Every structure is written in structure tokens, then in C-alpha cells.
Homo-oligomer: A and B are copies of this chain.
Amino acid sequence: MGKTAIIGASNTKFGNLVKKNKETGELTDLVSIYELINEAGKAALADAGVEGKDVDGVWVGSCAPGLFANQEHIAAMAAEIDPVGLRFKPFSRVEDACASGSVALYQAIYALESGRARVALVLGVEKMNLLDTKGVTHALATCSHWPTEGLAGMTFPALFAEYAKGYAKHYGISEDKLRRQLASVAALGYKNGLDNPLAHFGKGGPSDKLQLVTAEAILGLPDEKNPMIAEPLRLHDCSLISDGAAAVVLMRLDDAKASGKKYSEIAGFAQVGERMAITVRPNMYELTAGKLAVQKAFAEAKITTGDIDLAELHDCFTINQILSTEALGFSADGQAGDDYAKGRFGREDRPSVNLSGGLKAKGHPVGATGVSMHALIHKQLTGVPIGAAPAKAPSVGVVFNVGGSGVTNCVTVLKAGK
């Protein structure tokens, strides 16, 4: 079993890429799911310097394109990536809710490591904004345990609110303190997002105009600007509903080295599944399965927490960034919220977290997210920083991508190629 490497990556602009007919209210595409796939795939292949004929398979992470955009069997659209060269390749869609992108990438790694593929294209895509908020909420709720959660009206903000309450209770954190911790996480995302031109909420966007780059600014918002969604989570604790795509090109590490191209090594990864219904899980104050994934991925990569320069964490809700930060060992259990409130994990810190802006500011086209995290860590490890170049080039980056309420936990360690 040889290692693998990323040798090319791309990320489309994330955003609300629809237009609304003012008279009928009808939502139509500004950029369609088909165009997103084409744009991301074409750019990643170009970045890798790989032609379509050299691609042995395409894996597409997408969460619910049938519900969001009336298009299942979405992987087959890879045949249309311009210039058409992917006809007759195997196209496989992979879905594990908001971890679809990482799980797709892991299937490609298996294929490369098995020897059946030498070059793999991995795409993540989601087109969410053709539905109204009610439709989006329903589609996402199908990623919860429907009989006991979605059907019962318990949507994702409510599920992560259980984590927020569980975390505060377990560690004895007061309501005010928790509020500040969560706001600090959101502010860091918004601040970082200003440096990412691809971000849904970037420079000149809503978070910039409201200057929501400090916890104080968020805490100072009137209720109507930051309404309660699911106690204790408010609007600014929730990630964005975005359209977008990302892609990476993978090959075996020895091939990547031989190519002379810039690459980042997939040094270790792990996917660990948790039972889905939160009613059967006692530990609603930590990502139990996520911690296991960290152990496994770190062991394979032969790293410890202290080796990590940067990380992209799954802040679908601010509380989950806190839980992921602890799962990775960046903070002791129960301390991450406080660490964020103290201003840790910023651009100048090591590790820096979510320099992309995270799901909070970069946006969260759910099936694209895992691939986007890998794409942007790869970019930063190969000399393409987000915003100003860091004083010291990063050499180890980590992705922590979560599907469902801590259900599918994907951790990847990437190392800058030598």
C-alpha cells in the first residue's frame, strides 16, 4: 500500500448563485450544478497538468443533488468536463451527508492504492439555493435520523444545539460565557473570510459591512439581526447555504514525486462512523467517533497535534468548530471555547484554523465542503496562501470534515511535498 498525493486543486466561487424572478418568486440558476462541475473539474485538471485521457476515474461527493437540484446520478456529468475527455471513465458518486466530499476522496485513494487507478479526479459539488429555506431545511434534515429527528421537526440547528447545551453542561460553562465562545468562533471565520476571494461572505459581503470580525460585534447585534435559531444557537452560529464546487487531482506519491510537480502528500486519513440518532449517544459534549478518527489518521501520518500548522475544521455550527478543535487536541477537552474567546487559532497562530473562512464565511455547499477543505489545505501547503503569505511556509495541514450530527467523521493529514 503506497501513499497518495494531491497534485492539483480548484475551488469555484462559493455563493448564492441563483436569481429570483421578482414577480413569480421563481429561482433559476446563475451558475448551474453542471457549470460548477465543469468549472471545478476543468480547473483542477489544468492545475495538475493532467489531460482527460490520463484520468482513470472520477469520484463525486454530493449530498442531496436529487432533492436540491433534481439531479441524481450526478457523477456521470463528469463526462461533460470540458474539453470532453472523460467519456468511458468510471464515475462514482459518494454521499455521507456533509462529509460526502472527503468520503469520495477516500474512495479515490483506495482505487489508487489498489493499483487500479493512477490518476483520480475527485469533485465535490452542491447547488442548494434553487430551493427556498424551507426546502433546504427539509433536504438537510433527511441527513439526520429521519424517524426520530427530521420527521419529529428536529432539524440540524436543533441537533447541534444539543451539542452546545451538552458541552456547556458537561464543562459547567455559563450561558454568557458560551455565547461569547461561540461568537468568537464566528468572528474568526468572518475575519478570515475577508481574505478569501472565493468566500460566500468575503470582502464587501454582509459580515464585512456589519464588521462582524470580533465577538463583541456579534454579541452587540440586536436580536433581529442575530435571531435565536435553536437555543443557544443564533443565526451567526450557523453556516451558510451555498452553491459551489471544488476538485482535486490525486495520484500515487511516487508518481507525484516523479512528475516534478508541486504536490501535497496524503500522509494519513481515517473515517469513523457514529450511530446516527442522538438519542442513543450519551456523549453529547464531544465528537467521540471524531476523536477516534484523529487517533487513526495521526498514527498513520506519524504526527502529533504539535506538528500541525493549519487546519480546516467543520464549523457547520460554531459549536462543532469547538468540538473539532478539541478532538484534534488543539485545546484540552472543555477548553476550546475559551481558547477561541482568548483569540487563539488566528492567522498568526500555530495552528491557524479555517484561514478559508470556514463554513461560516467561505460557505457550505455541503457535498463540496470536504473536497474544498482538501483543495485549500493543498493550495496552502504548495505555496498558494489564502491572503498574505505566512512568515514560515506551512508543512502539515489537517482536514476535519463531519457528516450529520457528528456521525461521519473524516480526518486527513496532508504534508507539503518535498
Residues of A within 8 A of B (CB): 1, 32, 34, 58, 63-67, 69-73, 75-80, 84, 86-97, 103, 106-107, 109-116, 139, 142-144, 146-147, 150-151, 270-276, 289, 292, 403-404, 407-408
Contact = CB atoms under 8 A, between A and B. Distances in A.
B79 A72 contact: no
Given A66-B66, A92-B94, A92-B103, A274 B87 contact: yes
A276 B79 contact: yes
B116 A66 contact: no
A333 B84 CA distance: 28
A93 B92 contact: no
A278 to B, nearest CB: 12
A321 B94 CA distance: 27
Interface centre among A71, A110, A143, A407 (most CB of B within 10 A): A110
Given A66-B142, A73-B403, A90 B289 contact: no
Nearest to A110: B110
B93 A95 contact: yes
A34 B408 contact: no
Nearest to A71: B146
A110 B103 contact: no
B80 A272 contact: no
A135 B187 CA distance: 43
A75 B96 contact: yes
Contacts of A139: 66, 72
7 contacts: A58-B273, A70-B151, A87-B275, A90-B272, A91-B273, A92-B107, A113-B116
Nearest to A281: B87
A147 to B, nearest CB: 7
Contact of A93 (B58, B65, B96, B271): B96
Given A107-B110, A110-B113, 6 more contacts: A34-B147, A72-B142, A73-B96, A73-B403, A73-B408, A92-B103
A69 B66 CA distance: 13
A400 to B, nearest CB: 15
Contacts of A407: 73, 76
Given A34-B147, A110-B110, A116-B113, A76 B272 contact: no
Contacts of A87: 273-275, 289
Contacts of A79: 273-276
Contact of A110 (B84, B89, B111, B147): B111
Nearest to A143: B73
Contacts of A67: 66-67, 72
A270 to B, nearest CB: 8
Contacts of A77: 276
A76 B63 CA distance: 14
A97 B74 CA distance: 9
